Amino acid sequence: MRTSKHQGSLRGIVIEAVGAAVAAIGLASMLAPSGIGLGTLAPHPVWLAVLVVAARYGGRGLAVALPVGWGALMICGLGQRIAPALVMQRLSTGAELGAFAAAVMVGWIGSTHERRQADTQARLAALEQRCAADQAALAELQRSALILRARADRLDTSLTFLRDVASRLFGRDPDAAAQAALDLATARLGARAAVVQVMGEAGLAPLASVGVWTPDGPAAGVADDRTAVAVARMRRPMRAVDLPDAGPGDSDLAAPILSPRGALIGVLAVRGVPQGGASAAALRDLAVIASWSAAALLRAEPEHDASAEVAAAALEVDAVPEDGEEETPRSISQLNA
């Protein structure tokens, strides 16, 4: 790319030098019709062409315009039967040598300006690149500031709200505790929707929900939530970004609700969390909220039948409990038994 660009620039200098030399020789012929200005005009007008090109392109322009101008002068001299030796003798006089010295000085000054221009362009390119990087960093900082501001607003929660949530979480009503866990999760994490699912007769079933989970309804599709199913199987908090098969219809974060002995009671799942639920701090907060709601949810006793056992057994596929860990109960009624 640089080679072709350099060649194109050199071609342009040659074309301009030839045009300027032809114009200068034409001017000399008009002023002195005999001998293309040799012997009458001192210095010869061809030096004007050399000076103009040298001033425009510096040393490169001088190196190109000088032989082009002299060559054009000799060719025109041959057309008028003037020997090249006579042309060179004419160009070696004092006035011509003075014009040559002036052309050299103009070319040196032009080269100095060219170097300064190149340095200025390099600095400008570096500043533009730095400005683009700063703009990208500024946009990222603005997004981070918005997230931090939203989190600060959630932290600045009134004591009345916290007292109400605490009284419901540690009360005796499982429905109220589930709703309190949802309120605290959405306020703390900034989630768009949340749902508490408990182990019932048909496996995981929604107990309480808040927000629009899908366009079909507040808690529609939670039975197909791969994040919640993975949490129920692994019994530990999980993020959708960590699951290879998670899709847009699954919850961003989910945490298990465990009994004091480590048995599964249900799952607390949230969706629409800032940054797509990729924050490890948000996952820890959700796990703490889920653990707080466990005591109250233990009092939920749905009716027990054989279908609950079949659904719970399906959740335990490929889930081998570790040594010392209890198997997941098939319903909350078994936890209370």
Residue 175 lies in a domain: yes
3-state helix, strand, coil in the chain (%, to 5): 65, 10, 25
Query: Three-state DSSP class for 334?
Result: helix
pLDDT of residue 302: 46
Same domain, 291 and 241: yes
> What one-character-per-residue DSSP string does 71-101 give?
HHHHHHHHHTT--HHHHHHHHTSHHHHHHHH
Do 172 and 321 lie in one domain? The reply is yes
Q: Does residue 322 share a domain with residue 221? A: yes
Give the side-chain half-sphere CA count within 13 A for 259: 21
Q: Are residues 44 and 122 in the same domain?
A: yes
pLDDT band at 244 (very low <50, low <70, confident <90, very high): confident
pLDDT at 95: 78
Is-contact 86 74, C-beta < 8 A? no
Residue 274 binned pLDDT confidence (cut-offs 50, 70, 90): confident
Percent of the chain with pLDDT over 90: 7
Domain shared by 167 and 269, yes or no? yes
| pLDDT beyond 60 at 316 | no
Q: Please tell me whether residues 87 and 184 are part of one structural domain.
A: no
Q: Is residue 98 part of a domain?
A: yes
Based on the domain organization, do 254 and 312 belong to the same domain?
A: yes
- Looking at 73, 107, 127, the residue that finishes a domain is 127
> Residue 207 is part of which domain span?
159-336
Is residue 90, in this structure, part of any structural domain at all? yes
Mean pLDDT over 205-233 rounds to: 73
pLDDT for 110 equals 82
Contacts of residue 184, Cβ cutoff 8 Å, sequence gap at least 6: 165, 169, 289
For residue 135, is it within any domain? Answer: no
Count other C-beta atoms under 10 Å from residue 10's C-beta: 13
CA distance 270 to 184: 11
Are residues 318 and 186 both part of a single domain?
yes
For the stretch 135-180, pLDDT in tens is 888 888 888 888 777 666 655 556 777 888 888 888 888 888 888 8
| Burial of 147 (C-beta count, 10 Å sphere; 0-12/13-18/19+) | middle
Structural domain contains residue 153: no
More confident residue, 325 or 284: 284
Question: By percentage, how much of the chain surpasses pLDDT 70?
Answer: 72
Query: What average pLDDT is seen over the chain?
Result: 75
Grade residue 19 by pLDDT with cuts at 50, 70 and 90: confident
Higher-confidence residue: 168 or 90? 168
Last residue of a domain, one of 127, 142, 170: 127
In the chain, the number of structural domains is 2
Per-residue pLDDT averaged across 270-292, rounded? 85
Q: Are residues 178 and 312 in the same domain?
A: yes
Of the three residues 127, 150, 176, the one that is the final residue of a domain is 127
Average pLDDT over residues 192-201: 84
pLDDT computed for residue 155 by the predictor:
59
pLDDT at residue number 216: 52
Residues 91, 192 within the same domain: no
Residue at 321 is within a domain = yes
Beta bridge partners of 267: 197, 256
- Give residue 172's pLDDT: 82
Among 62-71, 129-138, 238-247, the range with the most confident prediction by mean pLDDT is 129-138
CATH number where 165 lies: 3.30.450.40
Residue 137 falls within a domain, yes or no? no
Residues 114 and 206 in one domain: no
Residues 187 and 106 in one domain: no
**191 lies in some domain:** yes
The confidence score (pLDDT) of residue 262 equals 82
| pLDDT (0 to 100) of residue 320 | 38
